[in-house]
A and B are shown apart, each in its own frame.
Chain A
Amino acid sequence: MSEQGILLPFYLVVDVSYSMNGPKMEQANQILPAVADALAKAPILADKVRFGLLDFSDDAQVVLPLSDMTGHQHLPKLAVRGGTDFGAAFRTLRERLHQDVAQLRADGFKVHRPAVFFLSDGEPQPGWEADFAALTEYDKQTGQGFKWYPVLVPCGVDEAGRDTMRRLVHPYRRSKLYMMRSGADAADAIRAMAEVLISSVLASGQSAVDGSSGFVLPDRSQLPPSIDVDDDWLK
């Protein structure tokens, strides 16, 4: 039984390969201030939410460590570099989740399963599957795998392949895939995905306030027109 109250950790992981250069990167850099603004207006939810930002290309870096988003005068910026290695992102993410959750639990918080929004605009280098499995697989019976696996919400724009991105939806019943509609503007789609992210942060926080425990994604009807959602799982 924790003594410090509940916390909902959210992470945004952004592809910063060279193809993201330009308006897409500008739009991606608007996400962090938008999250901070939304939480600034909702102190009750802000007290329950932590937010962190990672980027990845050939390697992955923590841009903003998991934080309560208060008092940040200067939010860090993303910058493009290198290629698209999902495996690097998954490895760094697993490390961070492991450390962050362990630390918060040691501090006495009751930590909700982390939610990760994963934004990419291209096809990854091959060979990421083992790192994905190490991040997401867990067998409750035997305790094998990563106990604090996240709810992973893939968000794809531009050249991101629907089939590849769909494989990242985890767990199937709790997550969804968000994809740019064909013909839409990629920067618009990133802005729309930021809205999905912020709605999810606020709705999940409110769910915690109401005594439910759950990660909430916005309803299909609330989606901006530049993206669609793939959530009709036949499983």
Chain B
Amino acid sequence: MSGGLDGPAADGPVTATIGDPGRAHTEVRPRLRSDPAQPPDTVVDHGTAVSLEVRAASVRGLSHRESGTPRQDAYGFALTADEQHLVVVVADGVSAGALSHEAAAFVGRRGPREVVRHLDAGTPPELLPWSEVFTGLAATILAEGARSLLRAEPGRFAAHPPEEGDVAAAMATTATFLICPTTPPRGGERHVHLAWIGDSPAWALDPDGGWHNLSGIKGAGAEVTSSRVEALPRIPRDPAALPRAAYPLRDDWTLLVMTDGTGDPLGPAHGEVAGQLATWWRRPPPPLVFADQVGFGRRSYDDDRTVVSIWPGGGPEPG
């Protein structure tokens, strides 16, 4: 394993890398965000939800750091009122949209709350009306996005307010949801539920370092990879056909929901990146170390990165 903690200089800062970090990782000088309304370069969270240990980090990619453009990824979570379920979402703003970071932020803020509302009303996770959730989020993005566009380009929309197509061209985001019970049912495995639009993958990591995809791998089976992404606020004609999944999960497995900034270098999860991340994330690392690891240097991977990790079995090993 050639991954490790290498700094650009012996006495310089130490940052995580996997394999050849490339030049950009050490040479890019990140531009400070010029507008305080832009999302911070990096956000980190950690904590416990009943028996779950959680880490989350969203890190601006090298290309956005270099150009001074905002991080377009976001995450969010919410706990049901009875604290029986944790709801997690990651959102990857589509890079073609100049305001996609706002769409991702909406999904991160409102998505988990919306799912929790259904759970709190007594809907069990397996019956969750996902098409209603996604349709509602799309409507939120269209409404909020129209206001943002008016603010951003008042001249262009002086005569006609922005239409849905204008908003969808300016901001779009993936959304991958995970619902995880906070306590295991007596004597059994936890049942996790997922639903997603777009290509932000969810994985489970077993104690032997094996990776198990929960949501489909980008580009798998396709000879020519397409950069076209399914994304909110566009909803498929039949929203009920949006993918969803449910899995039983053992308490010594790690759950990870991520954007493709991490999913792409992970690939089909049997190479160097998979090995190093498994080593790092078998047990919960300290939160700031986790954020650094999410931003690992690897040649030619310069996209925003976001990972929310859940360790159902709780905290770090004693000692």
Which residues of A are in contact with B by a Cβ distance under 8 Å? 1-7, 43-44, 46-48, 70, 108, 110, 209-213
Q: Which residues of A contact B27 (CB under 8 A)?
A: 43
Bound Cα distance A44, B66 (Å): 8
A-B contacts, 28 listed (Cβ < 8 Å): A1-B218, A1-B220, A1-B267, A1-B268, A3-B268, A3-B273, A4-B299, A4-B300, A5-B299, A5-B301, A6-B300, A7-B300, A43-B23, A43-B28, A44-B24, A44-B28, A46-B23, A47-B22, A47-B24, A48-B300, A108-B271, A110-B225, A209-B302, A210-B96, A211-B95, A211-B96, A211-B227, A213-B227
Q: Which residues of A contact B273 (CB under 8 A)?
A: 3
Bound Cα distance A211, B265 (Å): 14
Name the residue among A6, A43, A212, A213 with the largest chain B CB count within 10 angstroms.
A43
From residue 296 to 319 of chain B, which have CB atoms closer than 8 A to chain A?
298-303
Leading 9 A-B pairs by shortest Cβ distance: A5-B300, A47-B22, A43-B23, A43-B27, A3-B271, A43-B24, A44-B24, A47-B300, A3-B267
| Contact (Cβ within 8 A) A5 B265 | yes
Q: B62 contacts the other chain (Cβ, under 8 Å)?
A: yes
Q: Which residues of B contact A2 (CB under 8 A)?
A: 267
Q: B272 contacts the other chain (Cβ, under 8 Å)?
A: yes
Q: B219 contacts the other chain (Cβ, under 8 Å)?
A: yes
Which residues of B are in contact with A by a Cβ distance under 8 Å? 19, 22-24, 27-28, 62-63, 66, 95-96, 217-220, 225, 227, 265, 267-268, 271-273, 298-303
Bound Cα distance A21, B52 (Å): 73
Name the one of A1, A5, A46 contacting B298, with C-beta atoms under 8 angstroms. Answer: A5
Closest chain A CB from B66 CB (angstroms): 6
| Contact (Cβ within 8 A) B22 A1 | no
Bound Cα distance A47, B24 (Å): 7
Additional A-B contact list (10), CB under 8 Å, known A4-B299, A108-B271, A210-B95: A3-B268, A5-B299, A43-B27, A43-B28, A44-B24, A46-B24, A47-B23, A47-B300, A209-B302, A210-B96
Bound Cα distance A5, B28 (Å): 18
Q: Which residues of A contact B268 (CB under 8 A)?
A: 1, 3
Closest to A8 in B: B300
Bound Cα distance A5, B264 (Å): 8
Bound Cα distance A2, B97 (Å): 27
Bound Cα distance A187, B272 (Å): 48
Q: Which residues of B contact A110 (CB under 8 A)?
A: 225
Q: Which residues of B contact A48 (CB under 8 A)?
A: 300
Closest chain A CB from B302 CB (angstroms): 5
Q: Which residues of B contact A213 (CB under 8 A)?
A: 225, 227
Q: Which residues of B contact A209 (CB under 8 A)?
A: 63, 302
Bound Cα distance A210, B249 (Å): 36
| Contact (Cβ within 8 A) A70 B220 | no
Bound Cα distance A48, B63 (Å): 12
Closest to A71 in B: B23
| Contact (Cβ within 8 A) B227 A1 | no
Q: Which residues of B contact A211 (CB under 8 A)?
A: 95-96, 227, 303
Closest to A109 in B: B300
Bound Cα distance A213, B227 (Å): 8
| Contact (Cβ within 8 A) A44 B299 | no
| Contact (Cβ within 8 A) B265 A47 | no
Bound Cα distance A157, B76 (Å): 59
Name the one of A1, A5, A46 contacting B219, with C-beta atoms under 8 angstroms. Answer: A1
Q: Which residues of A contact B300 (CB under 8 A)?
A: 4-7, 47-48
Q: Which residues of A contact B303 (CB under 8 A)?
A: 211
Bound Cα distance A115, B153 (Å): 39
Closest to B219 in A: A1
Bound Cα distance A7, B22 (Å): 12
Q: Which residues of A contact B96 (CB under 8 A)?
A: 210-211
Q: Which residues of A contact B66 (CB under 8 A)?
A: 44
